[in-house]
Amino acid sequence: MKREKKDYYEILGVPRNATQEEIRKAYKRLVKEWHPDRHPENRKEAEQRFKEIQEAYEVLSDPQKRAMYDRFGYVGEQPVYQEAETGGSFFEDVFREFENIFNRDIFDVFFGEESGRRERREYARRGEDIRYTIEVNLSDLINGTEIPIEYERYETCPRCGGTGVEPDSGYISCPRCGGTGRIREEKRSFFGYFVSERTCDECGGTGRVPQELCHECGGSGRVLRRVRRTIKIPPNIEDGGHLRIPGGGNAGYYGGPYGDLIITVRVRSDSRFKRSGKDLIYDITIDYLQAILGTTVEIPLPEGGTTMLKIPPGTQPETVFRLKGKGLPGEYGRRGDLLVNVHVEIPKNLSREERKVLEDLAKKRGIPVA
């Protein structure tokens, strides 16, 4: 069984050597002219013409399909596509399958009575998060602080309100997919037709495109802006910890929400302290007499200020004193410890009086000396 022949070039009103741009322009013009909503009195005829225009453009806009059509197109009464075992052309199968699934004509869905009440909308998508790293001092990490920052982000275009459409221009049906939002592609082989479907790359699956792109954002719905804000660093935040600022990221797409600003807090190195996980190590050197007799020393604290540490008599070299909860903040704000490592300095040169005192002490304790 053979279908009635169709000349796709004649349907679009273009010569057989027409360029892709000429085919595209002709298609856009005819789609507007024969849109079923524009012909309520002759809707059936308009739908039929609209289908033919879609079918013609589907073939002629694809270089491979067009080459196949030019080479194996109708001769006399031969159609461009012979019918597969399922009966009917690829395009007829598409419409038939749609009707089988939804029990409705595809054009009734998109252009029927419901089209005025239910508008196709772009898929609202959340904007991307932005990551920013802040370096703070030890005291800021423990006490908290406020730090001003400046960064770039995409904001909703003020001219089009994020739609990407020039104000007062509106939308038109996507010329690539004919308003369906999907592109079906078929390949012919000895075994019949192989059909695949993908999202329309022209409209992103929405089925419509702006009649005129916004002059400010170029159709993206977003513009790049440099913004300033003050970030509040809470007390006892963990080094490498994160702060999430809701809505501080990039603007969403098609009315979607803004992404977040994610702050990573890093502590600057402090020459006074060494780090061991959440613990801080502070090295102090005392005189050997202080180690023998005991003393009290002043220890700096990472949050600022100092504390007094009592060194008991007889403290040995490399003794470590632990100041609980004076280290870096950890999980749930719990702080590590401050470890005070005591070094004892032994004098290399002694005065005559000092040496005599030590020799007498050694003799008294029975300690042999040189």
Residue 167 CB neighbours (<10 A): 12
Q: b/e per residue, 197-207, with b = 16+ CB within 10 A?
A: eeebebbbbbb
Element (H, E) at 138: helix 138-143
| Structural contact between residues 81 and 193, judged by C-beta atoms closer than 8 angstroms | no
Query: Is 174 a known ligand-binding residue?
Result: yes
Check the CA dihedral 176-179-183-187 and report its sign: negative
Tokens of 240: 């490498």
Query: Is 157 a known ligand-binding residue?
Result: yes
Query: Is 200 a known ligand-binding residue?
Result: yes
Residue 138 CB neighbours (<10 A): 22
CB half-sphere exposure, 130, CA atoms < 13 A = 20
Residue 38 CB neighbours (<10 A): 13
Local structure of residue 301 (DSSP, 8 states)? -
Query: Is 42 a known ligand-binding residue?
Result: no
Query: Is 203 a known ligand-binding residue?
Result: yes
| Structural contact between residues 221 and 214, judged by C-beta atoms closer than 8 angstroms | yes
β partners of residue 296 = 310
Element (H, E) at 146: strand 145-156
Binding residue positions for Zn(2+): 157, 160, 174, 177, 200, 203, 214, 217
Binding residue positions: 157, 160, 174, 177, 200, 203, 214, 217
